[in-house]
Structure 1
Amino acid sequence: MELVKEKIKEFTGIRAFKATDMVFIIERGIKEFGLKAMADDHIRELAQAREDNGQCITGVVNDKIIGCGGIDIMWDTVGEVWVLLAYDIGIYSMAAYEVIQDGLKKLIEDNNLRRVQAWGRVGFDASHTLFRHLGFVPEGIARKYGYDGEDFILYALIKDD
């Protein structure tokens, strides 16, 4: 088993986020319901702002972008996670999980965060599974939170003192 893990690790990694990574995922298809969109000026500006803030990473498996994400610092020691997963991330499930876990750990340590929170859309089970595997605990439901009126669940990861 360890040999297999080591072999997978050779092909996985995190790298600095580039605005084009976010655009690439949006245009190829987001894991959530297979949504695809053409990146407009607003999306490109958002992606560039995320690149400029330096708190984002891109996960790759076999040189293929599987997702990108980052932490928006809300105030000292508290951040909020955002994640975009590529539509076909499922074929790399174990390797992808390790990449995401390593990236999240790095961002938390680099920013000395004690609380990190994330939102998962009700009905998008992959996000809830991912957050729970990463150690996040559900804290409550935000009714009509989404731009389209959908409910979301708030998750938190608390660093013990």
Structure 2
Amino acid sequence: MKPISLNAIEYLTLNMREIDALEIYNMRAHDNPYILAREVVHAACYGKAAIAEHNGRPCGVVGVSPLWPGVWSIWSFGTADWSRGVLAMTRYGKRTLEPFIRAKGAHRLQCESRVDHHEAHRWLQAMGAKPDGLLQAYGRDGSDYIMFSWSKDYNVHQQTA
């Protein structure tokens, strides 16, 4: 895993998988990859994030950022090669991000995922997230999302040990 940079994030936002773009831009007021790249870098400044690479090019990013005291958001997206970096991103999430947010006093980590983004759901659950419930008409196009979360009651490491 590599530190994030604006250039690497712009590469990812300009070459993002269609399902990731649909999911992410549907929760934004814009469809601009350059604005999204700056939003990601800004979010990472308040939290922590890293880039996965495949064949020397960014293929995915995973990070966490605070929403309010005790509650954090986890996010990830990538190119068509996202699956080639998913193992490294999963390890980074469990070994680096989870201890990082716990040290910051987090009691909840959450992620909204578009209802038809099944690959994201599988990954979030593999990371230890539980589906909290359906967010009806959550996307700007009226699409449904599922809220996934971790809380102090179910530690990621306890589930995977």
Same fold per TM (> 0.5)? yes
Greater radius of gyration (CA)? 1
Q: 1:65 to 1:100 in 2, by over 3 A?
A: farther
Cα distance in 1 between the residues matched to 2:71 and 2:138: 20
Q: 1:105 to 1:31 in 2, by over 3 A?
A: farther
| Residue 159 (structure 2) aligns with | none
Deviation at 1:69, TM superposition (A): 3.2
**Once the two structures are superposed, what CA deviation does each residue of 1:15-67 show, in whole Å capped at 9, x if it has no partner?**
432233321111122362676x7634x3354244234x241312324554232
Superposition TM-score, scaled by structure 2 size = 0.73
| Residue 89 (structure 1) aligns with | 82
Let me know the Cα RMSD of the aligned residues: 2.7
Whether the 8 Å contact between 2:62 and 2:77 is mirrored in structure 1 is yes
| Residue 142 (structure 1) aligns with | 135
| Residue 29 (structure 1) aligns with | 16
Aligned-residue sequence identity (percent) comes to 18
Cα distance in 1 between the residues matched to 2:46 and 2:66: 11
Cα distance in 2 between the residues matched to 1:34 and 1:151: 15
Cα distance in 2 between the residues matched to 1:138 and 1:66: 26
Query: What runs of 5+ residues in structure 2 fail to find an aligned partner?
Result: 23-30, 155-161
Q: How many residues align?
A: 145
Cα distance in 2 between the residues matched to 1:65 and 1:44: 13
SS of the aligned residue for 1:145 comes to: coil
**Once the two structures are superposed, what CA deviation does each residue of 1:84-131 show, in whole Å capped at 9, x if it has no partner?**
233212234434432343343243234221111111111110110011
Query: What runs of 5+ residues in structure 1 fail to find an aligned partner?
Result: 1-12
Cα distance in 2 between the residues matched to 1:38 and 1:20: 15
Deviation at 1:149, TM superposition (A): 1.6
Whether the 8 Å contact between 1:61 and 1:96 is mirrored in structure 2 is no
Cα distance in 1 between the residues matched to 2:43 and 2:58: 17
| Residue 7 (structure 1) aligns with | none
Superposition TM-score, scaled by structure 1 size = 0.73
